[in-house]
Amino acid sequence: MKISVQNFGIISDAAVEIKGISLIAGPNDSGKSTIGKIFYSLVRGLNPDEIIFVSEKNETIRNYYQEILKILRDNKEISLSEFQTSKVDQNWVEKVTEASIKFELTQKKRLINYISFLKHETELEFQSINHKRREVSKYFSSEFNDDIQPVFDEEKITRILIEDLEGSTTLEYNYFPTLNRNINLYFNNSFFIETPSLIDNSLQDSILFEERFSREKNTHLKFALSNESSFVFKEKKQEKDIEIILKNISKIINGELIVDDLRGVVYEKLGKEINIDNVALGIKGFGIIQLLLKNHHLNSRTLLIIDEPEIHLHPNWQVLYAEILVLLSKKLEIPILLTSHSPYFIEALKAFSEKYEFKEKTNFYFSQKSKDNLSAKIIDVSNDISPILMSISEAYFKISDIENE
């Protein structure tokens, strides 16, 4: 999957492709996390859940129906009982439309508007282009609080070209979103790991079934950490690879995280249970991968997005974490998108991608801010990551200057 982004928030131009592992580095406030949130919103928005669709559609129709009844009730010439129904269909809509002539202009306009909204909702089909456009819009609204178009140049049109196995489609934002073609993505799910601190005793509550249908990325992740998926790898070799990777993680953190409805969340270390509130965030960082693997939520069609995974990790563990990610993508074909500031983690990722002959499927990108710091471009530096390392090393030069004063 590849996206080309123009004029989205601080990003003026970006083209990012995920073949195996893709990493974006660069200064703060340069759009790195924005790309991750865009990928997350697109993958989940273009793969809507039918249960959510039916539930929200019925609720919306019911709300419009109630508003229409309120307007009808205020007109003494109309018998409200004639419009009360358990099924809103085309005949009912036509009947209300005919009744609208009995209202003065303001009320008539309100009634016609509600009828129009209601008709649109009843005609909306699951996975139609309008349905997917609406879903993506809801995810963007949730992730970006509607701050999508360029802050310092609002007249520019936000545009995202999405390229995938089935072809391409373009999403444009000019106050309202438009989608020019309906496509089905190869990726059908995504998890966004923002912080390991979400592993706490509230995970026990996420065992509840309704949490599965949340659009909010942390709630969506929590459900996966607490519940097993029905997915099974077709090849036995991949199941063995999972066992090996899980053993490697257990060896690194000297134990494993366990979630159940009786004990809640515990960290088992050398046969002893430790309260999750007393567990280091670095251990929780590895624990998230551990739980997602044990619950069978990671596969070739699930995009794993991790924002600055090196946070809370000692440099030695950053190196080990990088190796785990390369093995996940190499052995299990799990697509991964990363952001990072750490030279240890970035160089380790590069070294392990070469060691495990995964270089061709590992991409590095650098987020380069404009001279006025008002926008940023994300460029492909896979063949030469020196721009990333030079950007990070500026801090060392500043420290050296201070010491030499």
Which residue from 324, 335, 357 is spatially nearest to 246, judged by alpha carbons? 324
Same domain? For 202 and 116 the reply is no
Residue 348 covered by a domain: no
Residue 209 has pLDDT above 60, yes or no: no
Last residue within a domain, chosen from 241, 265, 300:
300
Residue 145 covered by a domain: no
Confidence of residue 126 (pLDDT cuts 50, 70, 90): very high
Residue 146 has pLDDT above 80, yes or no: no
Beta-sheet strands, E only, within 226-352: 255-260, 264-269, 272-275, 302-307, 336-340
Of the chain, the percentage scoring pLDDT greater than 70 comes to 97
Residue 108 covered by a domain: yes
Say which range, 189-193, 378-382, 395-399, has the weakest mean pLDDT.
Answer: 395-399
Last residue within a domain, chosen from 279, 300, 321:
300
Q: What is the mean pLDDT of residues 143-155?
A: 80
pLDDT at 27: 92
Number of separate domains in the chain: 2
Confidence of residue 259 (pLDDT cuts 50, 70, 90): confident
Is 261 within 8 Å of 207 (Cβ atoms)?
Answer: yes
Question: Rounded distance, CA 31 to CA 36, Å?
Answer: 9
Instruction: Name residues whose C-beta falls within 8 Å of residue 172's C-beta, 6 or more positions apart in sequence.
Output: 157, 158, 159, 160, 178, 180
Cα torsion at 65, 68, 70, 72 (round to 10°)?
-130
The Cβ of residue 281 has, within 10 Å, a number of other Cβ atoms equal to: 14
Residue 337 covered by a domain: no
Of 394 and 61, more confident: 61
Say which range, 58-62, 124-128, 204-208, has the weakest mean pLDDT.
Answer: 204-208
For residue 80, give its domain range.
Answer: 52-123
Residue 235 has pLDDT above 80, yes or no: no
Residue 121 has pLDDT above 80, yes or no: yes
